[in-house]
Structure 1
Amino acid sequence: MTNFDPALAPAAGGGTVPTALGPPEPAIRVDQVTRRYGRGRSAVDALRGVSVDLPTGSFTAIMGPSGSGKSTLLQCAAGLDRPTSGRVLLGADDLTTMSESRLTRLRRDRIGFVFQSFNLIPALTARQNITLPLRLAGRRADRAWLTELVERVGLAQRIGHRPTEMSGGQQQRVAIARALITRPAVVFGDEPTGALDLATGKEILTLLREVVDTLGQTLVMVTHDPVAASYADRVLFLADGSIVEGMDGPTADAVAARLTRLGG
């Protein structure tokens, strides 16, 4: 089974889209990545030679049945896990050859994360949680950028509140602002609406869509929810550790139908 590379997909209506400058450089390039757990007969390949370019300024959703490798792909692409073989490039930097200390600095400075469980520090205010990555790096917050972020995520009236004084949706908005405060090259989301009710989840997805459209942010999200995936520019479907299909301009119904065929 071959891997699907959305960079090679034909344009709608057939043919290719001509451009004088060529396609933009990908924010993340995953090149023949395999991730094997265990040894010998008990070894399991969570990823099997996956290759894909994740375009700069795009919103990509990763989906597939349980055990398909979607979380492993996100972890390898984000530098949270090391591939058994292959490469992961963030711009010109090869994450797979970096030392742990350099990789830690890169994740802190150039990659943002939004998780299902928010991962906020209860003793800190919203402002302190948002600026924590900068404080850990010994950097001061750009006040204008912080103010813009707080307004964009709708927290202007909650900036002095602690997580226990905020709703789940507000806590996730803090987490999104925290992910963006360093102006990262890529933001990775792991089921970012999984702990939220339907209405709040849609608000968060709309916010993520706006972050891509207005800030040019690159966003990669693992989700099991076809509605969440419909907010993305494209969906990559995994099965048995391989990318088996890509879908541009996804709708919830089309995504759900494809997942059904995959057994998701």
Structure 2
Amino acid sequence: MPDHEPSTSPDALHLRGVTRQYGRGGNAVHALRGIDLRLPRGSFTAVMGPSGSGKSTFLQCAAGLDRPSSGSVRLGGQELTGLRERRLTRLRRARVGFVFQQFNLLPALTVEQNVLLPLRLDGRRADRRQAARALAEVGLADRARQRPGQLSGGQQQRVAIARALITEPEVLFADEPTGALDSGTAAEVLGLLRRSVDARGATVVLVTHDTAAAAWADRVLVLDHGRIVADLPGADLSGADGGEEQREAAARRIATRMRALTTSTVRPEVAA
């Protein structure tokens, strides 16, 4: 199967027995300790945990940016752990989308050129009509010819989301995408991620420390000690009119559970 063609697997992401250890012997740091997880297509999952809980390592292993010490990672049915680095790089370009706290837009390129860049890097035809559709979806159809420096922070993050979705990835990984934004702009960005799931059938994995952000998800996983210690529901937004109230209630519920977890455990040394 060509790297840019999505699979027919019902799971967008499947981790089985994933561990990640840095160092050996008495100095070993166990970042992940036997993660088992299936994420179906069209799901929105938030990953939370205190600093050093393993959530960043989880994202890196799940996205093929790091190799687990043991276990397997399957992206849309494709096993990642045994791939050579060059093949893994091609697969990430074609089938994984990334949005980070830093927008990582190229300042010398126009907004349109930034959005189309993943297609060019993957050797695919970069059609300006695709960029126009992607920018229209994030409310920036009139900004295609501008440079990133002419946009606000929230607008730049919306461009980053359009860029991440242009390849129709198996999974979009968002690592603290609202960390540098005010609450109103953050809600706009999270709303776009939510709509990408509901309208496009995208699969989103959001790593965040913010319970208000996590509440936009269908499911909230809490990591500690390198393990999944809680699997919580987010706000049920399907067909709901009172979305904001439901998100606020979900955020309070998640925050309460997080406080209970952090006060009831003594954490061994793990990686971020």
Q: Tell me if both proteins adopt one fold, taking TM over 0.5 as the criterion.
A: yes
Q: Is the 8 A contact 2:11 2:77 kept in 1?
A: no
Q: Is the 8 A contact 2:12 2:77 kept in 1?
A: no
Aligned counterparts of 1:30 and 1:125: Cα–Cα separation in 2: 37
Aligned counterparts of 1:184 and 1:108: Cα–Cα separation in 2: 9
Correspondence for 1:236 among 221, 238, 250: 221
Correspondence for 1:54 among 18, 21, 39: 39
Aligned counterparts of 2:203 and 2:133: Cα–Cα separation in 1: 18
Q: Is the 8 A contact 1:37 1:46 kept in 2?
A: yes
Aligned counterparts of 1:54 and 1:194: Cα–Cα separation in 2: 24
Q: Is the 8 A contact 1:64 1:262 kept in 2?
A: no
Aligned counterparts of 2:97 and 2:134: Cα–Cα separation in 1: 14
Give the deviation of 1:91 after TM superposition: 1.9
Aligned counterparts of 2:75 and 2:208: Cα–Cα separation in 1: 22
Give the deviation of 1:143 after TM superposition: 4.1
Aligned counterparts of 2:234 and 2:32: Cα–Cα separation in 1: 25
Structure 2 residue 189 is the aligned partner of structure 1 residue 190: no
Helix, strand or coil at the partner of 2:118: helix
Instruction: Name the counterpart of 2:23.
Output: 38
Structure 2 residue 76 is the aligned partner of structure 1 residue 76: no
Q: Which amino acid aligns with 1:235?
A: V
Q: Which amino acid aligns with 1:162?
A: R
Deviations 1:139-192 (A, max 9, x none): 212444322211010111111111111100010011001101111111000001
Q: Is the 8 A contact 2:132 2:144 kept in 1?
A: no
The correspondence of residues 250-261 of structure 1 with structure 2, limited to 5 A, is 250=235, 251-261=250-260
The correspondence of residues 13-28 of structure 1 with structure 2, limited to 5 A, is 25-28=10-13
Q: Which amino acid aligns with 1:253?
A: R
The correspondence of residues 1-264 of structure 1 with structure 2, limited to 5 A, is 25-250=10-235, 251-263=250-262
Aligned counterparts of 1:124 and 1:234: Cα–Cα separation in 2: 36
Helix, strand or coil at the partner of 1:72: helix
Aligned counterparts of 2:148 and 2:131: Cα–Cα separation in 1: 18
Q: Is the 8 A contact 1:65 1:262 kept in 2?
A: no
Q: Which amino acid aligns with 2:221?
A: L
Instruction: Name the counterpart of 1:20.
Output: none
The runs of 5 or more residues in structure 1 that have no matched partner are 1-23
Q: Is the 8 A contact 2:44 2:194 kept in 1?
A: yes
Helix, strand or coil at the partner of 2:178: coil
Q: Quick one: percent identity of the two aligned structures?
A: 61
Give the deviation of 1:137 after TM superposition: 1.9
Helix, strand or coil at the partner of 1:118: coil
Q: Is the 8 A contact 2:21 2:32 kept in 1?
A: yes
Aligned counterparts of 2:123 and 2:174: Cα–Cα separation in 1: 25
Helix, strand or coil at the partner of 2:97: strand
